[in-house]
Amino acid sequence: GNVGAVVYLTIFTFVTPTQFFFIIAAGAFVSWILCIMWLKEPESGFSEEYHVSSVDLQIEEEERHRLAGQTAR
């Protein structure tokens, strides 16, 4: 966010544009390496079967009651 912008613009005042873009590229590369090492793929993220949670069941039940109330009128 804003802190990163201030840091990068401060660096930009002390280096040439070419060096600045190399610094940005190095930061992006370090970021990518950290994401590869620490981020995990969610289990069943691309599962064939959708796992219905208790919240999903509650929303579905409330929707059924709402629709039943509308048709009864």
Mean pLDDT of all residues belonging to the chain: 88
Provide mean pLDDT across the span 61-71.
Answer: 87
pLDDT more than 90, % of the chain: 58
Task: Please report the pLDDT score of residue 36 as a whole number.
Answer: 92
Residue with tokens 């039940």: 61
Task: Please report the pLDDT score of residue 8 as a whole number.
Answer: 93
Contact 23, 15 (CB under 8 A): yes
| 2-27 confidence digits (pLDDT tens) | 999 999 999 999 999 999 999 999 99
| Single-letter code of the amino acid located at 38 | W
65 pLDDT more than 80? yes
